[in-house]
Each structure stands twice: as C-alpha cells, then as structure tokens.
Amino acid sequence: MRQKALFLDRDGVINHDPGDYTKSLDEFHLLPGALETMKAWYDRGYKLVVITNQAGLDKGLYTQDDVEQIHQFLQGRCVAMGFRIEECLYCPHHEGRSGRCLCRKPGSLLIERALHRYGLDPAQSLMMGDKPRDVEAAEKAGIQGLLIPVNEGPLRPEMLGL
C-alpha cells in the first residue's frame, strides 16, 4: 500500500511570511501551533514534505547554506516533538533571472519527485499553501490542494474531517 502525505508550503504556512523573503534563521519565526498541527498529521500516518520556492537564492539575497540552516532548525524542532519531515524540497530559481523552470511552483516537479522518491499516493495526499500557485502545483501532480490564509498556520486534520 502506498503512503499518504501532507505537502506544505513553508513561508506563510509553517513560519511567518514577512512579505518579501525569509533570508536567515534570525528571520525564521514558526507560526503558533504549526509544529503541533504537523505532528497531528504525522500521528495520523501522513508523511510530511515541505515544498517551497526560494527565488531569493537566484537574486543573491541569501545563500543555500542559509536555506539549509533554516531547514535543519525546523527538522530539529520537529524531531524534538517526536516526528520528522521527510524532506524539504526547494526551487532556487527566479523567472526573471533563470527563466521558467519545472520546479518553481506552480510547476509540479518537486511534488512529483517526492511522490516517486517516497512511494506516496497522490489520491491520499494533499497540499496546503497560502498562494494559488501552491494549489495549482498540487493539482498538476494529481493531489488535492488547499488554499489557506497566509500566516495562520496549517489546518488540523480534524478540521477537514480526517
């Protein structure tokens, strides 16, 4: 049996989106209840995967090390609470600099990569994002996309009847 998953956008869903870019760990502020909600999904048997556009890399606003430091911090907080994120996948491209790519949402390449890598079932999976491009990327990959309000944190499974 294939595994179900919850895909999550990062900025504005897991951490506060300041409106431009989260450039460093100092600017990374978890939203209240985000970790507890992610654990609730994990406890219901969902693998967790973060899918995030990080165009600030292409613009030279921060480095890959900055992004990795944020993701290691996030994973450490998750592990301390008794769960883990399978992977944080990110697109480093900006359309104005690198042109169009398949990994930048609304492209679905990163979602498709995770579906294949972890044997995830698109029919049992969903993605939460705070921008229409998150939902569009999910639907292109054959999974349900849910548009949630920016900076309010992910929806709990029971809010969706799960």
Query: Residue 20's domain is classified under what CATH number?
Result: 3.40.50.1000
Are 145 and 135 a contacting pair, CB within 8 Å? yes
Given this model, what pLDDT does residue 99 score?
67
Structural domain total, the chain: 1
**What strands, in cross-sheet order, belong to the sheet with 87-91?**
87-91, 47-53, 5-8, 126-129, 144-147
141: helix, coil or strand? coil
Residue 2 vs residue 61, higher pLDDT = 61
Indicate which residues carry an active-site annotation: 9, 11
| pLDDT of 106 strictly over 90 | yes
| CA distance linking residue 53 with residue 3, whole number of Å | 24
pLDDT tens readout for residues 111-160: 999 999 999 999 999 999 999 999 999 999 999 999 999 999 999 999 99
Given this model, what pLDDT does residue 76 score?
98
Segments forming the whole domain that contains residue 54 = 5-160
Region 83-93: mean pLDDT is 97
Are 5 and 47 a contacting pair, CB within 8 Å? yes
Which of 5-19, 59-73, 96-110 shows the lowest per-residue confidence on average (mean pLDDT)? Answer: 96-110
24, with CB counted inside 10 A (0-12, 13-18, 19+), is middle
Given this model, what pLDDT does residue 162 score?
86
